[in-house]
Amino acid sequence: MSLRNTVRAFPTLLRVGFADAVAYRAEMLIWVLATTMPLVMLALWSTVAREAPVGRYGEAQFTAYFLATFVVRQITGSWVFYDINFAVRDGTLAMRLLRPVHPLWAYAAEALAAMPMRLAVSLPVAIVAWFVVGSRAMTHDPVLWAVWIASIAGAWLMTLLVNLIIGCAAFFLESSLKVMDAWLVAFFVFSGYLIPIDLFPPRLRAVVEWLPFRFQIGFPVEVVTGAHDRAAALALLGSQWAWVATGLGATALMWRGGLRRFAAYGG
Amino acid sequence: MEGEPLSSPAARAWGASRAARASRYARLLKTQLRASVLLGLQYRADFVLDAAVSIFWTGAAILPLVIVFQSRAAVAGWTFGEALMVTGWFTFLEGVLEGGINPSIADVVDHVRKGTLDFVLLKPADAQFLVSTTRFEPWRAANVLTSGVIFGWAFHLLGRVPSPGAVGTATLAMLAGVAVLYSLKTLAVSAAFYFVRVDNLTHLFDSVFDAARWPASIFRGVVRFVFTFVIPLALMTTYPAQALLGALPTTTLLGAIAGAALALALSRVVWNRAIAHYTSAGG
């Protein structure tokens, strides 16, 4: 499993992953349609904002915030934990272990290869958002847009790593689907997916800012809607990538510890 | 039933009066329920985990409500206590869905894929009745209990108790809501006969259903129309909540009951057509 092998195989893995994403495009469309939560929250919050703005949010700001939330979630979403759970349970992970590429790299390639499809579905929403509220509620600073791109990469990596860590938990628990359920609940509430972080009560907000969830959705959305100046955005980007580094370490540990317990059934 | 003499109770019931038929189905329901409970007692650890996750989720999902109402007393004509009532009904219906409707739906999809629906169709009872009652998972319905806590909290905030009349109306409205929910799920599962894989479809339904957490009047325009008449979320949670508050107009209640009857009839027709389309698989 040398690095050279991985680098050589990566373009092929990406091509295979892309073909896979294209083959299941109808399913993917349904998954996109099922991402209604930001839109429901948008309806709720704009009703609230029509009477009077909430904090710094008027109707336009909420529209920008939740359309951006939709886009960020579409781009960074990942369900790799599901595949790993399956591969561990039915033993097919053994086949992945036989290949000369590390399974985690292969999973990462599959996730990355779905990106063009994900971008294709989020682009229309992004364009609509830009034309409807772009002039009023989105940043025009090129530096902040650059930070945004870096933050999207960070958020994508964090989501992937969480998926890998929880996927590896299946080595210890037989099935870690319930663990993901619990994680998702916390994620929905504390990531800024349902409520912008700056609307939380101050004490709760202080806690949420120390948790990783916010860097998966809230942070990129805040950057693109102009909630932070350059210095603050860069500082937060630093914290985000510190979480990415932590996630990398945790993934390596989980994988090594878990693999020792892996007994390939059937196969 | 093979080998059964024509004079047996079951056989006679076929030709007998409506009442005898109803009692036969009541007995069948009792047997199915007992089988479900016995089956479920095997998976007690699952129950604890499921209950913990769903209570956690219900609590977390109330947080947006709390934050919305922090800055003002009423949103779209609903105070916090009143909006909590809608959340209570939503939580209740989630429990009904998890414990009473979804498990059998999952079974039907499995049956269609494997071709084992044949065995259900062969039985001398209505197929829709059989598949809808084979699997109840009451232990997954922790949310029904949680909803009681939410109602208690809401009435505590409002500083009153519901009148017996309001409870009666709310029960009627709730039954209409459950009927609509069941019909929509039956429609979704009927699609399984044509497309085989419908887990995505049910996922789509669940995510739309999530909007029922909020009073229907926060939605505007097309979305509101859809949520009232096409996927009647308003009927499922907002009307029962209004009824509990004693604020549901009688005409709306009657409309809801008529709508529920219509939905049941429609789902029945579609189910029968779907069954006719069923060709078994391999077998």
Q: What is the pLDDT of residue B5?
A: 46
Contact predicate A57/A199, CB 8 Å: yes
Residue B3 binned pLDDT confidence (cut-offs 50, 70, 90)? very low
The stretch A160-184 carries a mean pLDDT of 87
Residue A41 predicted with pLDDT over 60: yes
How does pLDDT run across B122-153, given as a tens digit for each residue? 888 888 888 888 777 776 678 888 899 999 99
DSSP category for residue B75:
E
Question: How do residues A217-229 score in pLDDT, each as one tens digit?
Answer: 999 999 999 889 9
d(CA B68, CA A196): 11
DSSP state of B42: G
Backbone angles phi, psi at B78, to 5 degrees: -115, 130
Q: Which residue has the tokens 């529209």?
A: A63
Other C-beta atoms closer than 10 Å to the C-beta of A256 total: 10
Q: How many CB atoms lie within 10 A of CB B239?
A: 29
Give B20-73 pLDDT, tens digit per residue: 888 888 888 888 888 887 877 776 666 777 778 788 888 887 888 888 888 788
Tell me the C-alpha distance between B49 and B51, whole Å. Answer: 5
What gap in Å lies between CA B85 and CA B155, rounded to an integer? 8
Residue type for position A183: W
Q: What is the pLDDT of residue B283?
A: 40
Residue type, A32: V
Judged by CB atoms within 8 Å, which residues 163-202 of A form the interface with B? 178, 181-182, 185-186, 188-189, 194-195, 199-201
**Would you list the domain boundaries of chain B?**
43-277
Per mean pLDDT, which range of A133-137, A194-198, B250-254 is the poorest?
A133-137
Q: Tell me what pLDDT residue B12 has.
A: 53
For residue B275, give the H/E element and its range: helix B250-277
**In percent, how much of chain B has pLDDT > 90?**
23
Phi, psi of A10 (to 5 degrees): -55, -45
pLDDT of A31 over the 80 cut:
no
Confidence grade of residue B10 (pLDDT, cut at 50, 70, 90): low
For B71, the closest of A41, A54, A182 (CB atoms) is A54
The pLDDT-based confidence of A13 (bands split at 50, 70, 90) is confident
Cβ neighbours around B273 below 10 Å, total: 11
Residue B263: band (very low, low, confident or very high) from pLDDT cuts 50, 70, 90: very high
Q: Which residue has the higher pLDDT, B138 or A60?
A: A60
> Is 60 exceeded by the pLDDT of residue A113?
yes
Q: Any idea which of A95-104, A123-132, A258-267, B23-32 has the lowest mean pLDDT? A: A258-267
**Which stretch of A29-38, A98-107, A201-210 has the lowest confidence by average pLDDT?**
A29-38
Q: What is the mean pLDDT of residues B103-110?
A: 81
Q: How confident is the model at residue B281 (pLDDT cuts 50, 70, 90)?
A: low
Instruction: Give me the pLDDT at residue B11, please.
Output: 52
Is the pLDDT at B268 greater than 50, yes or no?
yes
Mean pLDDT of B194-198: 67
Residue B240: per-residue pLDDT:
92
CA nearest neighbour of B267 among B189, B211, B154: B189
Average pLDDT over residues B115-128: 81
Q: What average pLDDT is seen over chain A?
A: 87
Measure in Å the smallest separation between the Cα of B200 and chain A Cα atoms.
7
CA distances from A2 to A5, A6, A7, A247, B33 (A): 5, 7, 9, 22, 58
Helices (H) and strands (E) in chain B, counts: 15, 2
Q: Which of A138, A160, A208, A188 is nearest to A36 (CA)?
A: A188
Pick from B165, B166, B175: nearest CA to B257: B175
| Inter-chain CB proximity B200 and A30 less than 8 Å | yes
Q: Give chain A positions within 8 Å (CB) of B225.
A: none
Q: Identify residue A184 by its one-letter amino acid code.
A: L
Residue of B nearest to A201 (CA): B67
In order of A106, B131, B248, B277, the CA distances from B270 in angstroms are: 44, 15, 31, 11
Q: What is the DSSP letter of B140?
A: G
d(CA A1, CA A226): 44
Three-state DSSP string of chain A: CCHHHHHHHHHHHHHHHHHHHHHCHHHHHHHHHCCCHHHHHHHHHHHHHHHCCECCECHHHHHHHHHHHHHHHHHHCCCHHHHHHHHHHHCCHHHHHHCCCCHHHHHHHHHHHCHHHHHHHHHHHHHHHHHHHHHHHCCCCHHHHHHHHHHHHHHHHHHHHHHHHHHHCHHHHCCCHHHHHHHHHHHHHHCCCCCCHHHCCHHHHHHHCCCCHHHCCHHHHHHHCCCCCHHHHHHHHHHHHHHHHHHHHHHHHHHHHHHHHCCCCCC
Say yes or no to pLDDT of A206 above 80: yes
pLDDT, tens digit (0-9, with 9 covering 90-100), for A65-105 = 999 999 999 999 888 888 888 888 888 888 888 888 888 88
Quote the minimal CA–CA distance from B17 to chain A in Å. 47
Q: Do B53 and A200 touch (CB under 8 A)?
A: no
* B219 Cβ under 8 Å from any chain A Cβ: yes
B76 touches chain A (CB under 8 A): yes
Size of interface A-B (CB pairs under 8 A): 74
CB B23 within 8 A of CB B33: no
Q: How does residue B16 score in pLDDT terms, banded at 50, 70 and 90?
A: low
End-to-end Cα spacing for chain A:
21
Please give the pLDDT value at position A267. 43
Q: Which residues of A touch B219 (CB under 8 A)?
A: 43, 47
